[in-house]
Amino acid sequence: MYCTTIEDSHVCSLRRVVGRWNVGVGVAAFTAVLVAPLMSTEFHAHATEPPAATATEPAAATELAPETEKPHAMVSAAVSATDALDRLAEGNKRFAAEASMHDHESMSRRSALMKGQHPFAVIVGCADSRVPPELIFDQGFGDLFVIRNAGNLVATDVTASIEYAVRHLDTQLVVVMGHEGCGAITAALESAETRSHEPMELQAVLKMIEVTLSDHKHPADPKERVSAAVRANVVAAVKRLRYLAAEHADPELMKAKFVGAVYNMKSGTVDFFE
């Protein structure tokens, strides 16, 4: 099997390992492979750089035209983390009020972005189909660098994607967003016996969430328990990103602002916190 991307490489490695295990070893060993990168302080992922844009590509629209270029993206005045957070908050207010503008969806916008991208914020969110960040924050093509998985976990592949956006796309704001009623968090709070009927890969992900919440004190009320765990999971992810930036003394990551958020599906509003 040939692996050409970071995610492919990760999957290939897992398949090779799983292929050598019998059913008796199962979830415990498989989980160890996934949890180790989440808990480890070592990080060695490097994104493969695509070729630079050529002179034959269509010219960017005036609003996006850069003075110079570098691989991966057009260079433009980077949006500060404070301004980026304000944009997200304003967009969410429009969305919650059912007054979304749906900007940056035109053909001219898409054509301009063929030259490169410079999203003003990274959003690490849940894969749940009910929580699309572009709609929640009323943003369009090229505005957000979105990374989604079940339970908005921050593992090696997610961290690598964040580093790419910060280093090569000049994005200065990183938001980890959970949401009320998260199915992954709810399932992770169930007993191991209850989760045992799930596929091995899913059990491993739920175990990762369980490990993340191991120091969290859970309220007795079931509804409060899930809401508190959703927030605690986000807080843990933000702390991990800040720790990694400091641990590796990475000036690019250290200049980024890491913020937590929780989306309320009923009201449509997002609560930001640091």
128 belongs to an annotated ligand binding site: yes
248 belongs to an annotated ligand binding site: no
Q: To which residue do tokens 């209850």 refer?
A: 194
Could you tell me how far CA 75 lies from the centroid of its own chain?
Answer: 23
Q: To which residue do tokens 């995610």 refer?
A: 7
Alpha-carbon gap, residue 235 to 176, rounded angstroms: 8
3 belongs to an annotated ligand binding site: no
Backbone angles phi, psi at 179, to 5 degrees: -150, 150
Strand-pairing partners, residue 270, are 263
Strands 257-263 and 173-179: parallel
179 belongs to an annotated ligand binding site: yes
In DSSP notation, 166-220 reads HHHS---EEEEEEETT-HHHHHHTS-HHHHTTS-HHHHHHHHHHHHHTTTPPPPS
* Under 8 Å between Cβ of 256 and 173: yes
Q: What is the b/e burial string over 192-220, where b = at least 16 CB atoms within 10 angstroms of the residue's CB?
A: eeebeeeeeeebbbbbbbbbbbeeeeeee
Binding residues for Zn(2+): 126, 128, 179, 182
- From the annotation, which residues make up the binding site? 126, 128, 179, 182
